Amino acid sequence: MMPVAARAQRDAFLRKLASPPAIMGILNLTPDSFSDGGRFASVDAAVAHAAAMAAAGCDVIDVGGESTRPGSAAVSASAELARIEPALTRLTSEVGVPISIDTYKAEVAARAAQLGAVIVNDVWGLQKDPAMADAVAAAETALIIVHNRAEKDAGVDIVADMERFFDRSLDIAAKAGIPRARVILDPGIGFAKTSAQNRAAFAHIAKLKERGLPILVGVSRKRFLGADAPALETLPGTIAANLAAAALGASIFRVHDVADHVAALKIFFNLRNP
């Protein structure tokens, strides 16, 4: 059972989603992530960066021990745990914001929850590791379901594929006893999608909102529209994309540059909801 303090932290974050924006700061404890691989490999560097993101106003910090960039090599659960355990032990006690664990492995999710993580961010939406749904249910964490595919296929109707994927993931979650009120959806921008499919998935955010669940977007520093939009790799490009996602109904924004997004999104939502 989740400790009382962790449960309170989880529930406070979920309540925050009713009045967006919610900013998720990225903390990669990997040597090979596409943007910041290796920068926060030491525990002190990781904790310092997390503290800086918290001070800048992020609402949750997403910790990852395995890169999900295209072409990255998979790592074992033991290797992933070796990367994240020392930092998580300190993050959950020293940084005053909720911690999310970015993993698709049940063993890693369960251990991260034991160390104080209150959200599991599964880039395979419970469909990679058969034990993941039960692990999330037992840990009582919130859950982010990310749409993903094994490989790009330009012939796939990505919107229909996404809807089927979410139907299956939500069914798995429900059968495991994960309350729907703890579930967040992520269209998986940049995950095994062509440029055209990324555009379609992005445009579909407004329709996904009809499921009645919060929507997270993770476009930070990704050239998800292809070679025609290299500016997305820059801060202004990322902010522009996140503002477009906010206009479509997204409420959680997974970003590297926390302070700039806190300012931009605060202005956007204040103007939209005076």
pLDDT tens figures, 114-144: 999 999 999 999 999 999 999 999 999 999 9
Extents of the domains making up the chain: 22-269
User: What are the pLDDT digits (tens) for 43-99?
Assistant: 999 999 999 999 999 999 999 999 876 666 788 999 999 999 999 999 999 999 999
pLDDT for 88: 95
User: How, if at all, do strands 142-146 and 216-217 pair?
Assistant: unpaired
Taking the C-alpha atoms of residue 176 and residue 185, their distance in angstroms, rounded to an integer, is: 17
Give the tens place of pLDDT for each residue, 190-223. 999 999 999 999 999 999 999 999 999 999 988 7
**Count of CA atoms in the C-beta half-sphere (13 A) of 132:** 28
| Superfamily, domain 22-269 | Dihydropteroate synthase-like (3.20.20.20)
Helix orientation angle between 77-94 and 106-114, rounded to the nearest 10 degrees: 20
Is the distance from CB of 61 to CB of 84 less than 8 angstroms?
no
Give the residue numbers annotated as catalytic, written as ranges: 222, 254
Could you give the strand order of the β-sheet that contains 22-28, starting from the edge strand earlier in sequence? 183-186, 142-146, 119-122, 99-102, 60-64, 22-28, 252-255, 216-217
Nearest to 66 by CA among 123, 119, 2, 14: 123
Instruction: Please write the tens of the pLDDT for every residue from 225-270.
Output: 665 666 566 888 899 999 999 999 999 999 999 999 999 999 999 9
| Ramachandran assignment for 71, one of left (phi > 0), alpha (psi -120 to 50 degrees), beta (any other) | left
